[in-house]
């Protein structure tokens, strides 16, 4: 790698991972988009959850120009991104048994809704229990994870299971264990993680599928527009009013 600028190898690695999604995950993306479209058409609500850096991909779906207005963030205090201090506390909270039950008990999730759970490793107690308990409520669960972790790491949940074992659908990001994509002879640790780039693209592909599936059924997708284009605020106000009982980030 020393003979090339570091940007090239990283971008090549990211492009390779995105090409894998296109070539190997199209059917799963279509199924996930169809499940969300079914949920919207049947009056259900949409939620996304991720802990730590996995929360970044979840947040990218919420209140997003060009995105579905019905996507809500299922937030767990202390694990949304890395805003908690000290930051390692967020990692510790992911391993706490019972936290998912407390979150779901106080959330608006109900039978007929759909929940995207994003966890790169899928091995910690929080995403595993979130999936188990959400399905018990009658919520459809789509897991977004790297399946490679199930064969190269041990589950941290008492059941010995992973996120992928408790989902209606699984989207495999294909990220290598450890996330980092590059190595260097003079750097003792691998570096340049690509999970956020790939997972965000994967989920936006699902959202695009949901929107087009609804349109193919004659249903106008509840999309938001940028507030920085003329008419954007008026458009969004109309959509939010129409779907006010399914949008929770306004309150």
Ordered per-residue pLDDT tens for the chain, 251 residues: 445 577 899 999 999 999 999 999 999 999 999 999 999 999 999 999 998 889 999 999 999 999 999 999 998 877 776 767 777 777 777 777 888 899 999 999 999 999 999 999 999 999 999 999 999 999 999 999 999 999 999 999 989 999 999 999 999 999 999 999 999 999 999 999 999 999 999 999 999 999 999 999 999 999 999 999 999 999 999 999 999 999 999 87
Phi, psi of 72 (to 5 degrees): -115, 150
Taking the model in full, what pTM does it have? 0.93
Helix, strand, coil percentages (3-state) for the chain, rounded to 5, are 45, 15, 40
CB 158 within 8 A of CB 97: yes
Given this model, what pLDDT does residue 78 score? 74
Count of CB atoms situated within 10 Å of the CB of 145:
26
C-alpha dihedral sign at 194, 163, 72, 106? negative
CB 128 within 8 A of CB 166: yes
Given this model, what pLDDT does residue 4 score? 59
CA distance 82 to 194: 17
Given this model, what pLDDT does residue 99 score? 85
Given this model, what pLDDT does residue 174 score? 96
Given this model, what pLDDT does residue 1 score? 46
CA angle 112, 160, 132 (to 5 degrees): 10
């Amino acid at each position: 790698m020393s003979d090339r600028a570091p940007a090239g190898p990283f971008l090549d690695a990211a492009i390779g991972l995105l090409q894998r999604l296109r070539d190997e995950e199209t059917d799963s993306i279509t199924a996930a988009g169809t499940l969300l479209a079914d949920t919207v058409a049947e009056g259900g609500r949409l939620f996304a959850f991720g802990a730590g850096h996995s929360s970044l991909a979840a947040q990218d779906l919420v209140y997003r120009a060009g995105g579905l207005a019905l996507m809500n963030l299922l937030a767990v205090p202390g694990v949304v991104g890395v805003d908690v201090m000290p930051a390692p506390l967020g990692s510790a909270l992911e391993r706490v048994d019972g936290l998912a039950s407390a979150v779901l008990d106080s959330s608006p999730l109900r039978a007929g809704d759909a929940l995207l759970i994003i966890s790169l490793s899928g091995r910690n107690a929080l995403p595993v229990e979130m999936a188990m308990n959400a399905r018990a409520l009658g919520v459809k669960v789509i897991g977004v994870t790297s399946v490679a972790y199930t064969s190269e790491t041990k589950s941290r949940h008492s059941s010995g299971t992973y996120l992928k074992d408790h989902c209606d659908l699984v989207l495999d990001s294909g990220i290598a264990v450890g996330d980092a994509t590059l190595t260097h002879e003079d750097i003792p640790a691998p570096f340049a993680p690509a999970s956020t780039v790939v997972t965000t693209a994967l989920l936006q592909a699902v959202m695009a599928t949901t929107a087009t599936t609804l349109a193919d059924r004659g249903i106008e997708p509840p999309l938001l527009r940028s507030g920085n284009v003329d008419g954007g605020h008026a458009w969004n106000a109309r959509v939010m009013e129409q779907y006010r009982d399914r949008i929770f980030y306004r309150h």
